[in-house]
Amino acid sequence: MADRSDRQVGVDSGGTFTDVVLPDGTLAKIPSTPDDPGRAVRSAVERTGPGRPALLAHGSTVATNALLEGRLARVALVTNDGFTDVVEIGRQDRPSLYDPWVDRPPPLVARDDRLGVRGRLDERGREVEPLGLDELPAPPDDCDAVAVCLLHSDLNPEHEHRVADALRSAGWDVSASVEVSPEFREYERTVTTVVNAGLRPVCGPYLTGLTDAADRVVVTTSAGGQVGLVEAAARPVALLLSGPAAGVRAAAAIASACGFPDAVTFDMGGTSTDVGLVLDGEPSLVGGHDVAGYPVRVPALEVHTIGAGGGSVARLDAGGALRVGPESAGADPGPACYGHGGRRPTVTDADVVLGRIPSGTAFPGLGVLDEAAARRACDEAGVDPEGVVEVVEAHMEQAIRRVTVERGVDPSQLALVAFGGAGPMHACGVAEAVGIPAVVVPAAAGVLAAVGLLVAPPRREVVRTWPTPTDRTGLDARRDELARSAAAALADELSGLDGVEFTVETFLDCRYEGQSHELRVSSVEAFVEAHLRRNGFTRTGTPVEVVAVRAVATGPSTSTIDDVLGLVDPFAGPVDGPVVVQRADCTVWVPGGWRGEPGPLGSLVLRRTGDESVGVAR
């Protein structure tokens, strides 16, 4: 039997670095291994000490990158006769309303791999045509997985279960929509099921390979809660915002501790930047999100992602305009300053040339950065480092406006929580452009997502479509039924852990009659206030519809944000810009006109000089 220890390890596997955090305050970064992400994770765990840890809390970009880069496994889709093209037709909305040349993302399933089966349910889930299971066509032999999504199976799963069971008996790896996303809207449910099927062969072996990395291994989902390896491998579509969601939850807790219940989270890593909105101390939770243009219908923290990170490549386009991203140099070869053979300039190279990253700085696993190589890459590409920073910060400014101004939220009443390896380097410039008066840099800013993994709670959510939007007969009974299901799922997840207590909450997805979007609320009565806050208006006299019922079971975190950050070296003493604050896990650039002072949980709170009354926490 392997040696064991009682330590807990948080490991966030990113596109450029894999971040490691222990509750004793130990922080580390090692280069990621894109060819085998599990290798960097196992290496990170081994570096934390002898013996096998008691807990590995993991977050990953493997699922996200597979979808973004078109590396899903080949999937066959089984649906009703006459509906095989739903996955391609989609909805009538266009990615860019006034651009006649814009293209939709390609369909996830080739036409020859879409199979129809006879049988039909009506809009209430009643059978109107028997299932023709004996006529079920066989998927092509060279497909890797099968997605099954039948019309109205969210109301009556019998037909879909029978089809899935038949395919599994034939040896196929099957994802059924009633197990992945049992909600109304056929296109979204179909896409979500296909993505899950395409990710299982990609993520399954990598996740299974972590089984022996610790006594207990958990993975954080897009909703910011932990699930076990079995659930994660079965539903990898729920991992698309794994690391970012953990970072948002940790950032929200830190912002509240610093007196900012309303904040924007700003996570700039090597490949992308993720921004999220926190109101009253809680990140916004939604029933789905878009990734690479595809609607994914699983619970997630509301995070907006753009292809702008420290490794984003800068270039001149055919017209001579400066472009930055979304292409990234990644971990290998990485930016030119890494000294791994990279020749194209990146945001990190621009920061090195401009002195935002001081000459002689060493990155973990890379040694001293090569300033001459960074300057040479910029010169050869003909790009101005100042311009590179201006362009990438403009991209990030737009992302922040999308989650604030476009939502009716005034940025001048918020703080910006900056984290990720590159976030604190660009936070003040972005905050000033948007009109955010305060920036909070956490003590473990460079590895905050890994901190969030350690403090994420165990969580399971169950959702079902409500078939009669304005008739609520039996609604309370359905809420109780789903609460029991969620509790049972979490209890099974936590089996073997003695004395663990958890809470169960139920929610409704509501909307005004005639609307095509809904809000998650605790009750029908709470919907009007929630709609007013989210959209700025109400519809007096318009009926409120209930379209889905949810139950969420949540267990206690094994660590708290106070426990972890209480042992991390804090920021000490005031700083006046312009100045570079060098940390083991990140670099903070404080421009002229900004002043920083130590804050709670070891953080650094930055404000404009002479304007400290603006944005004071409420």
Chain segment 554-608, per-residue pLDDT in tens: 999 888 899 889 888 899 889 998 999 988 888 899 999 999 999 999 999 999 9
Q: pLDDT of 506-551, one tens digit each?
A: 999 999 999 988 999 999 999 999 999 888 899 999 999 999 999 9
Spatial CA neighbour of 527 closest among 547, 553, 552:
547
16-30, 176-190, 290-304: range with lowest mean pLDDT: 16-30
**Which residue ranges does the chain devote to CATH 3.30.1490?**
458-556
3-state secondary structure 24-58: CCCEEEEECCCCCHHHHHHHHHHCCCCCECCEEEE
What lies within 8 Å, CB to CB, of 393 at 6+ separation is: 426, 429, 430, 433
> Which CA distances in Å does 417 have to 64, 186, 252, 347, 462?
23, 38, 8, 20, 31
Of 139, 220, 150, 138, nearest to 181 by C-alpha is 150
If you ran DSSP here, which 8-state letter would residue 445 be given?
G
- Beta bridge partners, 581, equal 588
Distance CA 193, CA 196 (A): 5
Give the pLDDT confidence score for residue 425 in this predicted structure: 93
Instruction: Concatenate the DSSP letters of all residues of 88-109 into one string.
Output: HH--S--SSTT-TT--PPPPSS
* Section 70-99 average pLDDT: 89
Residue 36, Ramachandran bin (φ over 0: left; ψ between -120 and 50: alpha; else beta): beta
DSSP 288: -
234/173 Cα distance (integer angstroms): 10
pLDDT band, residue 613 (cuts 50/70/90): very low
pLDDT for position 34:
80
Compute the average pLDDT of residues 354-378.
85
pLDDT per residue over 386-419, tens digit each?
A: 999 999 999 999 999 999 998 888 999 999 999 9
CA angle 307, 310, 316 (to 5 degrees): 70
Q: What is the mean pLDDT of residues 101-106?
A: 84
Q: Could you tell me the pTM of the whole model?
A: 0.88
What mean pLDDT comes out for the span 15-29?
82
Q: What does the pLDDT read at residue 563?
A: 87
Name beta bridge partners: 272.
Answer: none
Q: How many Å apart are CA 30 and CA 9, to the nearest integer?
A: 14
Q: Which of 17-26, 441-450, 457-466 has the lowest mean pLDDT?
A: 17-26
**d(C-alpha 471, C-alpha 487), whole Å:** 27
In whole angstroms, what is the distance from residue 536 CA to residue 326 CA? 33
Let me know: does 295 contact 556? Beta carbons within 8 Å: no
Partners of residue 441 on adjacent β-strands: 604
Strands 575-576 and 594-598 come out as antiparallel
Type of residue found at 160: E
Of residues 267, 530, 265, 561, the one with CA closest to residue 414: 265
| 3-class DSSP assignment, residue 473 | coil
Helices (H), 242-326: 242-257
Q: 301, 276 in Cβ contact below 8 A?
A: yes
Task: Decide if pLDDT at 310 tops 80.
Answer: yes
Contacts (Cβ under 8 Å, ≥6 apart) of 338 = 363, 366, 369, 370
State the pairing for strand pair 604-608/438-441.
Answer: antiparallel
Residue 461 pLDDT more than 60? Answer: yes
Interatomic CA distance for residues 383 and 540, integer angstroms: 55
In eight-state DSSP terms, residue 338 is G
d(CA 136, CA 159): 12
Q: Which residue has the higher pLDDT, 34 or 38?
A: 38
Exposed/middle/buried for residue 144 (C-beta within 10 Å: 0-12, 13-18, 19+): middle
Tokens 């605790």, located at residue: 522
* Residue 339 DSSP code: S
Q: Are 268 and 421 in contact (CB under 8 A)?
A: yes
Q: What is the CA radius of gyration of the chain?
A: 24
* DSSP designation for 74: P
Phi, psi (rounded to 5 degrees) for 57: -100, 115
CA angle 303, 403, 535 (to 5 degrees): 115
Helices (H), 209-332: 229-234, 242-257
pLDDT of 615 reads 36
CB 573 within 8 A of CB 226: no
Contact status, residue 55 vs residue 4, Cβ threshold 8 Å:
no
Q: Does residue 384 sit in helix, strand or coil?
A: coil
| Amino acid (1-letter code) at residue 134 | D
Query: Whole-number mean pLDDT of the chain?
Result: 90
Torsion angles phi and psi, residue 229, rounded to 5 = -65, -35
pLDDT at 2 over 50: no
Q: Is the peptide bond before 326 cis (omega within 30 degrees of 0)?
A: yes
Residues 19/454, Cβ–Cβ less than 8 Å: no
Kindly tell me the burial class for residue 96, based on how many C-beta atoms sit within 10 Å of its own C-beta (0-12, 13-18, 19 or more): exposed
pLDDT band (50, 70, 90) for residue 114: very high
The most distant pair of C-alpha atoms in the chain lies apart, rounded to whole Å, by: 77
Residues 440 and 419 sit within 8 Å (Cβ to Cβ): no
- In this structure, CATH architecture of domain 458-556: 2-Layer Sandwich (3.30)
Can you tell me the distance from the alpha carbon of 241 to that of 274, in angstroms, rounded to the nearest whole number? Answer: 10
**pLDDT of the residue at 496:** 67
Question: Where in the chain are all domains bearing CATH 3.30.420.40?
Answer: 8-68+205-242
User: Which pLDDT value is given to residue 498?
Assistant: 66
C-alpha span between 64 and 269 (Å, rounded): 14
For the domain made up of 8-68+205-242, the CATH class stated in words is: alpha beta
Query: How much is the average pLDDT of 316-335?
Result: 87
Nearest to 341, CA basis, from 351, 330, 350, 352: 330
Confidence of residue 364 (pLDDT cuts 50, 70, 90): low
Estimate to the nearest angstrom the gap between the alpha carbon of 257 and the chain centroid: 23
